Amino acid sequence: MNVLLTGGLGYIGSHTCVELLNAGHRAVIVDNLCNAYGSVLDYIEQITGIRPRFYEADAQDRAAMERIFSENEIDAVIHFAGLKAVGESCRIPLAYYRNNLDSTLTLLETMEKYGCKRLVFSSSATVYGPDNPVPYNEEMPCHVATNPYGWTKAMIEQIIRDYVTANPDFSAVLLRYFNPVGAHESGLIGDDPNGIPNNLMPYIARVAGGQLEKLTVFGNDYDTPDGTCLRDYLHVVDLAKGHICALDYAAVHTGAEAINLGTGNGVSVLELLHTFIRVNGVDVPYVIGGRRDGDLARCYANAEKAERVLHWKTEKTVEDMCRDSWNFIVKHTK
Ligand code: NAD
Ligand code: UD1
């Protein structure tokens, strides 16, 4: 299969590109480098021995997207391109709506023009909002996002569903990721956020590496076993493999399917932190602070549908996630 990856040089896109090439598929990448480096292409080549065709362009740019489709026989698209920082989306909501919605609309219109009928979309557990009980399953109502980023994911899911209703021969898989962490075992690619990280694992890794002084654990008074929040952390390589399963599924089914990609387990902030310290033999100073606005006590998947429909489940452990995240930081900051 020849697969177009929008946002393919980003964290999840680059790992998925590696798994796609390892599985014998071909990849074409479009990325505007707003949150990625061109050097990731070299690392993908180092890992796989294959250099995917790369277009530095914005997925909102119709002429550029048409050029990509006219120059390549694209069988399917995985749409990663998007802005993803929750806090930033509250400060600059219009930029989030413009980028995330416009890139999706331009992509769908271009796919229609070139007769491409298979799409895998990067959605998020954030679409379950604050009111559903855990574990989240795909049948639950997803009508209340809590921030503009989350709304873009809910809206894009709806846009894709409406498009599929009008085009019943189209196939879309809406993958709802839980908390991707970890990195490729080579240490060449991983999560490399600009500035001070918002997410837990990159923050822990930077404290361990001495770039940040200490971690603040946001609240230990939640109604959970150790008082800190529970999340469904999954290894990014497992997540990447889930996309290959989704492409296989989309090749033989039509319609729009939302599918959770998670482990089904809730892991607390302190469990993740202490696992990181133990498996890597490093020190991570931390303090307990107040709760962060908008955080839920629990967020984890019912992961049964992915196993039943995609024949996919996670294989890597929390230890693997911590080891590989640290390995990436060690190799990356040399
Ligand atoms: P990332 O920022 O590392 O990757 C996104 C890539 O898209 C970047 O390389 C960026 O340069 C590119 N991009 C953004 N807007 C673009 C545009 N208009 N045109 C072309 N390229 C553009 O993020 P990621 O963590 O790899 O996430 C990939 C997708 O998965 C995003 O849609 C994100 O919202 C979604 N997601 C991520 C997480 C997570 O925790 N990382 C969780 C749930 C969902
Ligand atoms: C956040 C986003 C979510 C997005 C996900 C991507 C919010 C409210 N939600 O989710 O929409 O899909 O990232 O991975 O931003 N923590 C600390 N100290 C820190 C950082 C985090 O204690 O310095 C805690 C948080 O309170 C939370 C857990 O670690 O309990 C995980 O946080 P984070 O990595 O930001 O992910 P989410 O909050 O699950």
What is d(CA 54, CA 64) in angstroms, rounded to the nearest whole number? 12
**Ligand 2 in reach of 270 Cβ (< 6 A):** no
pLDDT at 205: 96
Which residue type is seen at 292? R
Chain-centre distance for alpha carbon 90: 20
Q: Cβ distance 178 to 236 under 8 Å?
A: no
Q: H/E/C letters for each residue in the chain?
A: CEEEEECCCCHHHHHHHHHHHHCCCEEEEEECCCCCCCHHHHHHHHHHCCCCEEEECCCCCHHHHHHHHHHCCCCEEEECCCCCCHHHHHHCHHHHHHHHHHHHHHHHHHHHHCCCCEEEEEEEHHHHCCCCCCCECCCCCCCCCCCHHHHHHHHHHHHHHHHHHHCCCCEEEEEEECEEECCCCCCCCCCCCCCCCCCHHHHHHHHHCCCCCCEEEECCCCCCCCCCCEECEEEHHHHHHHHHHHHHHHHHCCEEEEEEECCCCCEEHHHHHHHHHHHHCCCCCEEEECCCCCCCCEECECCHHHHHHHCCCCCCCHHHHHHHHHHHHHHHCC
> Tens of pLDDT along 121-140?
999 999 999 999 999 999 99
pLDDT at 334: 60
pTM exceeds 0.75: yes
pLDDT at 234: 98
CA-based nearest residue to 261, from 123, 96, 85: 123
Pocket test residue of 80, 104, 235, 238 for ligand 1, highest count of atoms within 8 A of CB:
80
Q: Cβ distance 56 to 38 under 8 Å?
A: yes
Which residue type is seen at 299? C
Alpha carbon of 198 to ligand 2 centroid (Å): 7
**Ligand 1 in reach of 11 Cβ (< 6 A):** yes
- Which atom, in ligand 2's list, is nearest to the CA of 86? 15
What is d(CA 6, CA 58) in angstroms, rounded to the nearest whole number? 9
**Ligand 1 in reach of 124 Cβ (< 6 A):** yes
Low-confidence stretches of the chain (pLDDT beneath 50): none
**Ligand 2 in reach of 127 Cβ (< 6 A):** no
- Which atom, in ligand 2's list, is nearest to the CA of 293? 8
